[in-house]
Amino acid sequence: MSNVVPPSTSAIATSAHAEEPARDNSFWRYLANKIGGALISLAMVILLGFFFFKLLPGDPISRIAREQNLGAEQIAILREQYGLDKPFWQQFVDYLTNVFTLNFGESYVYRKPVSELIGQYFWNTILLTATAAVIAIILGLWLGQKAAWKRGSLFDKLASTTSLVFWSVPTFWLGLILLMIFGGTLKWFPTGGMRSLSAGTDPLSVVLDVAQHLVLPVTTLVAVIYAQYLMVMRSSLIEEMNADYLTTARAKGLREDLVRRRHAVPNALLPTVTLVFLHIGGLIGGAVTVEAVFSWPGLGKLTYEALSGPDLPLLQGTFVVFSAIIIFMNLIADLVYRRLDPRVRHA
């Protein structure tokens, strides 16, 4: 019978140290792959931003000429000013050069640089969507974990059914209903815009006025999106409810409330956390409808107005910005998921 010599402590330490660089290399490879994929997606978006909007019906210069009653010579000057008299390939080269220098040209309608317009309206969209996202996440996670823990109860049925109803309602339709009832009939809230002309100019008056204008558009966004967080949280927590570690926690004498909050909910949060990052990018891009309905001065309303032109430089600029935000948030979601889930980290 041969003697088996156990590995020495130094050998175990050496093996552990050897695994650390391997794990580090694995992370950097994963990061490089995800960033590479994001850059490829962004490149495709930039190309699509040129060719897709060139296919839109209507000639923006002809529309401007009709509205301002311009002559043939003035129309020719406008086409030269916006580079529309150049060959198609030259327009494409100019477009790529402008995008990589963050210069999207000048808006046909506003007669301002597109980059300036995007910077002016961007934070209004962030204010609207960030407020809606925070409320929807808190509401969805709280209702989802309550519904899962009381599965089959009246609360579970009401919460799930109500959320699914709101989730299936078209955003613009719900916005119009809220606008007519609470803005038109009851006159509880403003019907559009971000500020009232009659509001004061001191900081407190400004904050209260903007908050009042936020109520209806934020409510519309929250009603449509919170159901996703609720349903994912509910299903994730239901999967965790019969796990062995919860049985152990109960055997130690912990109250059900503590078992839920300290053990079950943190483990069920993984899919929901990933969904949060994935959805934030889409939420910013999806603000077009809500901003158009409530005349909220953000990128969504800017895009909606640009479509009627069509204002090609403005459409291309907002399209690239919206897409870049979505791609970036998807990248963050992948990295967060890898950080939270050991199965992905060691794959």
Q: What is the CATH number of the domain that holds 295?
A: 1.10.3720.10
pLDDT of residue 341: 57
With vertex at residue 60, the alpha carbon angle to CA 57 and CA 64, rounded to the nearest 5 degrees, is: 140
Percentage helix, strand, coil, to 5, in the chain? 80, 0, 20
Model pLDDT, residue 18: 47
Q: Is residue 149 part of a domain?
A: yes
Q: Report the first-to-last Cα separation within the chain, whole angstroms.
A: 39
Residue 209 lies in a domain: yes
Q: Is residue 132 part of a domain?
A: yes
Residue 307 located in a structural domain: yes
Count of domains forming the chain = 1
Q: Kindly report the pTM of this predicted structure.
A: 0.75
Q: Quote the pLDDT of residue 1.
A: 46
The pLDDT of residue 217 is 92
Instruction: Going residue by residue through the chain, which has 347 residues, state the pLDDT in tens, using 9 for 90 and above.
Output: 445 455 554 544 454 454 455 555 777 887 888 888 889 988 888 888 888 777 766 666 666 666 666 667 776 777 776 676 778 788 888 888 888 887 888 888 788 888 888 888 888 988 998 899 899 988 988 888 888 878 888 988 898 898 888 888 888 888 889 988 988 888 888 888 888 777 777 788 888 888 898 999 999 989 888 888 888 888 877 777 766 666 666 666 666 666 666 666 666 667 777 777 767 766 776 678 888 888 888 888 888 888 776 788 888 888 888 888 888 888 887 777 777 655 555 55
Whether residue 79 is contained in a domain is answered as no
How far is Cα 300 from Cα 289, in angstroms, rounded to an integer? 7
Confirm whether 271 is domain-assigned: yes
Sign of the C-alpha dihedral computed for residues 334, 339, 341 and 344 taken in this order: positive
Strand partners for 113: 106
Domain annotation covers residue 142: yes
CB 345 within 8 A of CB 339: yes
Parent domain of 264: 118-345
Q: Is residue 276 part of a domain?
A: yes
124 vs 213: CA distance, rounded Å: 12
Sequence-distant (≥ 6) Cβ neighbours of residue 46 within 8 angstroms = 96, 99, 320
